[in-house]
Structures are given as structure tokens and as C-alpha cells.
């Protein structure tokens, strides 16, 4: 059965060993270079890491906001629908991160709640642009 995954976060831990057959052994220099790059990124202390044009880099928290804004209709919208549209174009980005960005936009006054989400369905709220 063919299954499509957008990132390793969607894997069941029991599935990981079956995927390890395609691994490459890195040389000591390659491991050192990767560790050095990660330390550079950690020193930058950016709130988010993103793969941009094949390169891992630190980016600002609002880096993916353009996708959320593009996914929003002019009138009121259900948060889950906007998240789904935005995620369709952002492989590897989590729904949680985009949800947090919508909450940040609401706190900043750029979005307004028309109807808040219910406790058992956190993405069920209805929002609109301010």
C-alpha cells in the first residue's frame, strides 16, 4: 500500500526501522560539517528553522504568514479550512505552528474572532481579517 508522508513527524515510531535501510554513512568530516552548521543556526537564535532552496536556515516567526494570508478568503473563515489550504503548499510545516501564527495575528489585531473554537476542536473557530 502506497502512503504519502509530508515529514518524519507523521511516522509511527514502529515504522522507522524499516526506513533505515536507505541510510548513508557519513564521514567524520561530513558529520563535523553538519554539527558546525547546526551550531551556527543555534547561535543565531531565530524562532524558526526552514528549508529554503535546499538550505536549512533560521527565519523569523512570521516567515510562513504569506501562505496563511493567501489562504484566507475576504469574509469570515473557519480556521481549519485556512490551515488545510496553507499546509497543502508547505510540506514539512506543522499545523500547530500555523495555528500559533493565527493566534499571534489575532493578538496583534490583524484577525478577529467571529466565533471562538470549541474546546474539543481547537481549529473550529471562525475568524476574519480586521
Longest dimension (CA), the chain: 55
Residue 31 vs residue 38, higher pLDDT: 31
Domain positions in the chain:
14-129
* pLDDT tens-place string over residues 111-124: 999 999 988 899 99
Calculate mean pLDDT across residues 93-122.
Answer: 94
**Res. 25: pLDDT tops 80:** yes
Beta-carbon count within 10 A of 35 CB = 10
| Interatomic CA distance for residues 111 and 1, integer angstroms | 42
Read off the pTM.
0.71
* pLDDT tens-place string over residues 46-82: 888 888 887 888 899 999 999 999 999 999 999 999 9
Amino acid at each position: 500500500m502506497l502512503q504519502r508522508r509530508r515529514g518524519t513527524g507523521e511516522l509511527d515510531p514502529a515504522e522507522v526501522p524499516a526506513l533505515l535501510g536507505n541510510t548513508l554513512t557519513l564521514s567524520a568530516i561530513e558529520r563535523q560539517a553538519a554539527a558546525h552548521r547546526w551550531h551556527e543556526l543555534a547561535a543565531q537564535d531565530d524562532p524558526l528553522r526552514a528549508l529554503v532552496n535546499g538550505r536549512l536556515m533560521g527565519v523569523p516567526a512570521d516567515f510562513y504568514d504569506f501562505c496563511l494570508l493567501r489562504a484566507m478568503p475576504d469574509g469570515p473563515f473557519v480556521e481549519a479550512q485556512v490551515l488545510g489550504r496553507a499546509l497543502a503548499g508547505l510540506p514539512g510545516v506543522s499545523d500547530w505552528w500555523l495555528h500559533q501564527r493565527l493566534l499571534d495575528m489575532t493578538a496583534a489585531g490583524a484577525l478577529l474572532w467571529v466565533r471562538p473554537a470549541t474546546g474539543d476542536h481547537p481549529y473550529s473557530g471562525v475568524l476574519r481579517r480586521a
